[in-house]
């Protein structure tokens, strides 16, 4: 019985550590769409309300850049608003955060 009580208490003492990730939803603006040769993919770069870099969201993979596509994506998506939801895992380092949802709102 003691073991069962200890296991029960131990599990509930660990729960706060497991639930430590904080989910955030923030507004962002699409600043540009660019092709990264190293990863062979197009990315959307967003900025926050202070015009600081916020997220680089992978859009689509491509073996090489198509300049016309890059131009079209920039014309279509630049300055659009987005809502970004992410978990920060109680870290100030954005590399540790996990993007949960990226929604273009207009």
Residue 1 included in any domain: no
Residue 11 included in any domain: no
Q: pTM here?
A: 0.70
Instruction: Report residue 34 as tokens.
Output: 């660019």
Residue 4 included in any domain: no
Residue 66 included in any domain: yes
Domain count, the chain: 1
Residue 49 included in any domain: yes
Per-residue pLDDT of the chain (106 residues; tens, 9 = 90+): 656 555 554 555 555 555 556 888 989 999 999 999 999 999 999 988 888 878 888 888 999 999 999 999 999 999 999 998 989 888 888 788 888 898 999 8
Task: Tell me what pLDDT residue 40 has.
Answer: 95
Q: Which residues constitute the domain of residue 25? A: 21-104
Residue 68, CB half-sphere, CA atoms under 13 Å: how many? Answer: 0
Residue 46 included in any domain: yes
List, as own/partner pairs, every contact residues 31-36 make where C-beta atoms lie below 8 angstroms and the sequence separation is at least 24, other chains included: 31/78, 32/74, 32/78, 33/59, 33/70, 33/73, 33/74, 33/77, 33/78, 34/70, 35/62, 35/65, 35/70
């Amino acid at each position: 019985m003691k073991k069962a009580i200890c296991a029960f208490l131990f599990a509930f003492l660990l729960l706060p550590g497991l639930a430590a990730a904080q989910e955030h939803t923030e507004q962002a603006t699409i600043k540009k769409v660019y092709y990264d040769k190293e990863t062979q993919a197009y990315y959307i770069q967003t900025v926050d309300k202070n015009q600081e870099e916020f997220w680089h969201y992978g859009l689509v993979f491509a073996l090489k850049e198509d300049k016309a596509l890059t131009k079209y994506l920039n014309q279509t998506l630049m300055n659009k608003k987005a809502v970004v939801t992410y978990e920060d895992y109680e870290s100030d380092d954005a590399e540790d955060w996990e993007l949960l949802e990226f929604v273009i709102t207009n």
